[in-house]
């Protein structure tokens, strides 16, 4: 393991030699097929685009850049609904005592099912996108949702959740303490919590959420294959790690030889996987404090243990980045080069592209670029996990240069 700090960019990275290990069957291609079969039944389902940025790739001296653009998912501008909807459906089927594969979506939303199980209350803690996905699913299934959000949550994100009929409370806590509040409220009131954080006795819904994200991964694989491409490098951002664990756990089973290099990207204010790997004892370590970052979807201090088993061993690199890296990613994707389509990327979806900009354009990152073998033959995949879910902040970044860097 090699660690390096780049103080001028408020950036740190760790590189390691990935381990060869068996990966969980719960994130296998067969599991992805079952998840996709559910999502394909949802009204409005269609695969989100895989956008090729050929001009940008040439400009940066790499083979290809692909962005899986989740800003188009179900009109909700974020991938999180994939995990939320799948977990809610599995939970309802558990109440019914039946397997999800045996209950068509049309039956799940029927009065018959509501009469069988009654009106249940779903609750979760969220910065916005996950809670909106849970509220969206509850609305369609005729169930109730109570959503807790950490302090500082953008009013527009609160409003977008309430628009689906959910009750929303903005707390005075950071994300991890808001999760604990939601858990306590669920126990006190007999509610069902739908969270991607694991604790003792609570592992099924977090796994279901991770599995829900396999639809996005499987779509990307199909789209890459249609383009005759296979990724050599996959950049994926991490909060609690449900997304990153799903992406790495699935993609490493699809692309076995050669396996892509996985680069885990986190905000420096909430880099719990970076801190856990840096500790070197093989166990996950939380980070504490305000977790104050514009990458609010990644502002999580406690690693998901289900993901940790994957993300500890398989990635080649872990990078913690400052806010300006994500802001630069937003600006790069929106202000495309001739021939490339613009992409609307939110703060948590853009950071990987912002990091690649540093790797290919700035001398302080030349060593890391060399170690990762990023060059003319590289086929690089990113997941833009959200669009402009906070339109005001998006405009501030794009129009007025909020969160500038001084690296030019």
User: Any catalytic annotation for residue 151?
Assistant: no
As a whole number of angstroms, the distance between CA 14 and CA 372 comes to 11
Using DSSP's 3-state secondary structure scheme, residue 21 falls into: coil
Dihedral angle over CA of 302, 150, 390, 245, nearest 10: 20
d(CA 66, CA 396): 26
144, containing H or E segment: strand 144-149
Q: Which phi and psi angles does 79 have, rounded to 5°?
A: -75, -15
80 is catalytic: yes
With residue 294 as reference, give the H or E element that holds it: none
Closest CA to 274 of 301, 234, 249: 301
Whole-angstrom Cα distance, residue 350 to residue 31? Answer: 28
Q: Which residue of the set 68, 77, 80, 369 is catalytic?
A: 80
In the Cβ-directed half-sphere of 390, how many Cα atoms lie within 13 Å?
22
Distance, CA of 383 to CA of 343 (rounded, Å)? 12
Q: Which of 208, 276, 277, 214 is nearest to 246 (CA)?
A: 214
User: How many CA atoms lie within 13 Å of 146's alpha carbon, on the beta-carbon side?
Assistant: 19
Catalytic residue, candidates 68, 77, 127, 176: 127
Distance CA 57, CA 337 (A): 10
- For 345-375, b where at least 16 C-beta lie within 10 A, e where not — what string? bbbbbbbbbbbbbbbbebeebeebbeebebe
Q: Mind telling me the catalytic residues? A: 80, 127
């Amino acid at each position: 393991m090699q660690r390096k700090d780049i103080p001028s960019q408020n950036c740190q990275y760790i590189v390691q030699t990935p381990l060869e290990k068996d990966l969980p069957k719960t994130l296998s291609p067969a599991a992805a097929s079952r998840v996709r079969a559910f999502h394909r039944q949802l009204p409005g389902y269609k695969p989100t685009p895989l956008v090729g940025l050929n001009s940008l790739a040439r400009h940066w001296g790499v083979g290809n850049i692909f962005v899986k653009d989740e800003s188009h998912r179900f009109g909700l501008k974020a991938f999180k609904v994939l995990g939320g909807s799948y977990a809610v459906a599995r939970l309802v089927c558990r109440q019914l005592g039946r397997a999800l594969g045996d209950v068509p979506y049309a039956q799940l939303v029927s009065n018959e099912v509501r009469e069988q199980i009654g009106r249940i209350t779903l609750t979760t803690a969220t910065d916005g996108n996950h809670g909106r996905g849970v509220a969206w699913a509850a609305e369609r299934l005729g169930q109730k949702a109570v959503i807790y959000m950490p302090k500082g949550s953008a009013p527009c994100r609160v409003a977008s959740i309430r628009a689906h009929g959910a009750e929303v409370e903005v707390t005075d806590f950071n994300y991890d303490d808001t999760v604990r509040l939601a858990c306590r409220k669920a126990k006190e009131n007999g509610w069902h919590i739908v969270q991607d954080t694991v604790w003792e006795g609570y592992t099924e819904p977090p796994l279901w959420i991770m599995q829900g994200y396999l639809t996005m991964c499987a779509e990307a694989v199909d789209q890459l294959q249609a383009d005759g491409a296979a990724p050599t490098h996959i950049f994926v951002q991490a909060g609690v790690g449900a997304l990153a664990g799903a992406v790495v756990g699935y993609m490493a089973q699809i692309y076995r030889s050669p396996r892509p290099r996985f680069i885990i990207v986190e905000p420096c204010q909430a880099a719990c996987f970076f801190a856990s790997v840096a500790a070197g004892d093989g166990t996950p370590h939380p980070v504490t404090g305000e977790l104050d970052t514009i990458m609010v979807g990644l502002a999580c201090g406690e690693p998901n243990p289900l993901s940790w088993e994957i993300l500890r061993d398989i990635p080649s690199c872990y990078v913690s980045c400052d806010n300006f890296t994500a802001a630069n990613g937003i600006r790069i994707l929106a202000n495309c080069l001739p021939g490339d389509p613009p992409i609307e990327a939110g703060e948590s979806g853009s950071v990987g592209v912002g990091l690649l900009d540093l790797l290919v354009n700035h001398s302080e990152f030349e060593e890391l670029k060399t170690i990762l073998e990023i060059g003319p033959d590289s086929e690089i995949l990113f997941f833009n996990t959200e669009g402009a879910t906070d339109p005001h902040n998006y405009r501030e970044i794009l129009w007025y240069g909020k969160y500038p860097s001084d690296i030019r």
